[in-house]
Structure 1
Amino acid sequence: MTLTELRYIVAVARERHFGRAAEACFVSQPTLSVAIKKLEEELDVKIFERGGSEVSVTPLGEEIVRQAQSVLDQAGAIKEIAKRGKDPLAGALRLGIIYTIGPYLLPELVRHTIEKYPQMPLMLQENFTVKLLDMLRTGELDCAILADPFPDAGLATAPLYEEPFMVALPAGHALASRTSISAEELKAETMLLLGNGHCFRDHVLEVCPEFARFSSDAEGIRKSFEGSSLETIKHMVASGMGVTVVPRLSLPREPSPHLKFVPFSEPIPTRRVVLAWRRSFTRYEAIAALRNAIYACELDGVKRLS
């Protein structure tokens, strides 16, 4: 049994496909398949069920893959311990971040990281929460910036900040001149939402649960539309197609002539943003450095959490 074989089975379990797993491991598919077959014969168990293009992990295989990932983490820890002896922050940090935070936090975060910790470049992965959690579990990421709540994956977490939500309206909208707006008042509006998979969509539906029905004849609702990103939705709002809810950090630095952003009235809905990492991850100094770089960002309008 070798670490290479363990990497192969973890890759197949993640990709559910031998070809994609081989690409991810930078080897040919026959090489990967032969190595996994050899491991199965050595252990005298079937790790994967192979059926046409579908690959599934057997119940016993699930346990083996989890243990394999643990072994790989420990092997990586040995290398990290050796690196820490020279420089605790040396080496890239693989950071995941959700779509509704990345565009607004990363520009400043990357700048601060380069200035403060040039020996620790950030390898960035922007994705949905579910995908980032999966990548954390399988060791593809070291840590991730996520919004609570998310499925408990046995991860270590540290709070970063609490971010209020705002209502985005066309500049000529009847509510645009208000100093605050209640969630109740949005019931009669055309709401523009992010598509399925975005956790911020779920946060908005908690604030305005009526829009979960997506019914054009539901009382107080004309219709709801979906967009692929917050920036796309803001353009739709500016053109007069409806209103939306956005996180505070997504507000532009310069006022827009076509958009108005109005706070919610009490109780103000918020989201809690955290940094998450595997408990087996040993670069504690890198996690602390990343948090320091995040706190060095301006984070206008949000409450930092210690």
Structure 2
Amino acid sequence: MTLTELRYIVAVARERHFGRAAEACFVSQPTLSVAVKKLEDELDVKLFERGSAEISVTPLGEEIVRQAQAVLEQAQSIKEIAKRGKDPLAGPLRLGVIYTIGPYLLPDLVRQAIARVPQMPLMLQENFTVKLLEMLRAGELDCAILAEPFPDTNLATAPLYEEPFMVAVPRNHPLATRERIDAEELKRETMLLLGAGHCFRDHVLEVCPEFARFSSDAEGIRRSFEGSSLETIKHMVAAGMGVTVVPRLSVPVEPHPHLVYIPFEEPAPTRRVVLVWRRSFTRYEAIAALRNAIYACPLDGVSRLTS
């Protein structure tokens, strides 16, 4: 049994697909499949049920995968302790960021990190919250920038900032001349939402819960549309297809020719953005350096949280 084999079975359990697991591990599918079969033979157990469309994990396999994750985390801790003994800021930091934060924070953050800790390059991964949490647990990421709430996975957290939401409307829309908008007024509008899996979609539905039903019935298609990214949805709004809600950091500095961004009436809806990492991660100085680099970014319109 090797750490590589344990890493492979964790990847297969996460991806539910041998091909995608092999891509995630940067190996060929035959290499991964042979290693998984070798481990199953050694343990004399069946870890996965191989269906035509998707791989499922057997009940015993679930237990073994959980233990494999713990072993991989402990093995990574040994490496981190060794690194820390030399220089906790030396070497890359593997950072995950959700899709609705990455494009708006990372350009400034990367510049700040290079200026402050050039010996600690950031290895970046954008993904959904659930996937980033899985990668954290598996030791494939060191830390992640997420928006609360998210499932409690016994991670250490540090607050970063509180970000208000704003309404984006076409420039020729009747609401475009308003200084502020009440959430109740959006009930009469066609709302454009992010697709399932985005936590920001859930945040918007908390502000406008009446739109939650529109994704599951045919009638709702006339009132609610979905996009794959905030930037795609902004283009849809600019084309006059409806209105949407966006986080403050996604609002560009320069005025848009076809879009107007309007704040909500107080108290405005917000999201709390935090930095999370495994409690066993020992490069505390690296976490502090990353947090300081984030605070050094402009973060226009948000409230920094320091406690």
TM-score (norm 1): 0.91
Q: What letter is aligned with 1:127?
A: N
| 1:15 corresponding residue in structure 2 | 15
1:8-157 to 2 correspondences below 5 Å? 8-52=8-52, 54-157=54-157
Q: Which runs of 5+ in 2 are unaligned?
A: none
- 1:14–1:138 CA contact under 8 A, matched in 2: no
| 2:290 corresponding residue in structure 1 | 290
In structure 2, the residue corresponding to 1:176 is in which secondary structure? helix
In structure 2, the residue corresponding to 1:297 is in which secondary structure? coil
- 1:189–1:222 CA contact under 8 A, matched in 2: no
Structure 1, residues 187-230: CA drift from partner, whole Å, max 9, x if none? 11122211222111111111111222227868xx9622222211
Q: What letter is aligned with 2:239?
A: S
Distance apart, 1:87 and its partner CA? 1.3
In structure 2, the residue corresponding to 1:67 is in which secondary structure? helix
Q: Identity rate of aligned residues, in percent? A: 83
Q: What letter is aligned with 2:300?
A: D
| 2:243 corresponding residue in structure 1 | 243
CA distance in 2, matches of 1:187, 1:208: 7
Distance apart, 1:51 and its partner CA? 4.0
In structure 1, the residue corresponding to 2:177 is in which secondary structure? coil
Structure 1, residues 48-77: CA drift from partner, whole Å, max 9, x if none? 333456432222222222222222222222
Structure 1, residues 118-164: CA drift from partner, whole Å, max 9, x if none? 11111111111122222222222211111111122222221111111
Distance apart, 1:165 and its partner CA? 0.6
CA distance in 1, matches of 2:53, 2:227: 32
Q: Does 2:275 align with 1:275?
A: yes
| 1:303 corresponding residue in structure 2 | 303
Relative to 1, partners in 2 of residues 1:210 and 1:11: Cα closer, same or farther, differing over 3 Å?
A: closer
| 1:199 corresponding residue in structure 2 | 199
Relative to 1, partners in 2 of residues 1:243 and 1:36: Cα closer, same or farther, differing over 3 Å?
A: closer
CA distance in 2, matches of 1:13, 1:216: 34
- 2:158–2:274 CA contact under 8 A, matched in 1: yes
CA distance in 2, matches of 1:182, 1:222: 23
CA distance in 2, matches of 1:23, 1:173: 46
| 1:224 corresponding residue in structure 2 | 224
Q: What letter is aligned with 1:300?
A: D
Distance apart, 1:8 and its partner CA? 2.6
Relative to 1, partners in 2 of residues 1:274 and 1:36: Cα closer, same or farther, differing over 3 Å?
A: same
Distance apart, 1:26 and its partner CA? 4.4
Q: How many corresponding residue pairs?
A: 304
Q: Which runs of 5+ in 1 are unaligned?
A: none
Q: What letter is aligned with 2:92?
A: A
Q: What letter is aligned with 2:106?
A: L
Q: Which moved more, 1:115-124 or 1:190-199?
A: 190-199
Relative to 1, partners in 2 of residues 1:275 and 1:169: Cα closer, same or farther, differing over 3 Å?
A: same
CA distance in 1, matches of 2:294, 2:73: 26
Relative to 1, partners in 2 of residues 1:51 and 1:256: Cα closer, same or farther, differing over 3 Å?
A: closer
TM-score (norm 2): 0.90
